[in-house]
Amino acid sequence: MSDTTHPSKDKLVGDLRVLIADAEELLKLTAGQTGEKVADVRTRMGDRLAVAKERLADAEDALVERTRKAAHATDDYVHDHPWQSVGVAAGVAFLLGLLVSRR
């Protein structure tokens, strides 16, 4: 996958965390409510929250695993091609220096 999808995945994980926290708070606030319909909704919501938490954990694990693989691949490349890595780093630093000095 491209690097442009990672920020959106990170945002999605953050949004899901907020949604789960809000849903849990809603369940706590309605704990005193009685009635068959309320109990049914609370049960369904609790089940869906459990599934959402599981999926969120899986998504986080996948993101962490991809990050580890990318870091490992970068480390391997730098060890296999040290002079090329130094050259690329110097070029990037030079370009950043030019951009910063223009401001």
Q: Give the whole-angstrom CA distance, residue 90 versus residue 71.
A: 20
- Which candidate, 51, 53, 44, places its Cα nearest to that of 20? 53
Q: What per-residue confidence (pLDDT) applies to 7?
A: 59
Q: Mention every residue, 6+ apart, whose C-beta is less than 8 A from residue 20.
A: 49, 52, 53, 56
Token pair listed for 76: 């391997």
* Per-residue pLDDT at 77 exceeds 50: yes
Q: Based on the number of CB atoms within 10 Å of its own CB, is 84 exposed (0-12), middle (13-18) or buried (19 or more)? A: exposed
Q: What per-residue confidence (pLDDT) applies to 70?
A: 94
Q: What percent of the chain has pLDDT over 90?
A: 31
* Per-residue pLDDT at 38 exceeds 60: yes
Q: What is the mean pLDDT of residues 84-100?
A: 92
Looking at the 3D structure of the chain, how many domains does it have? 1
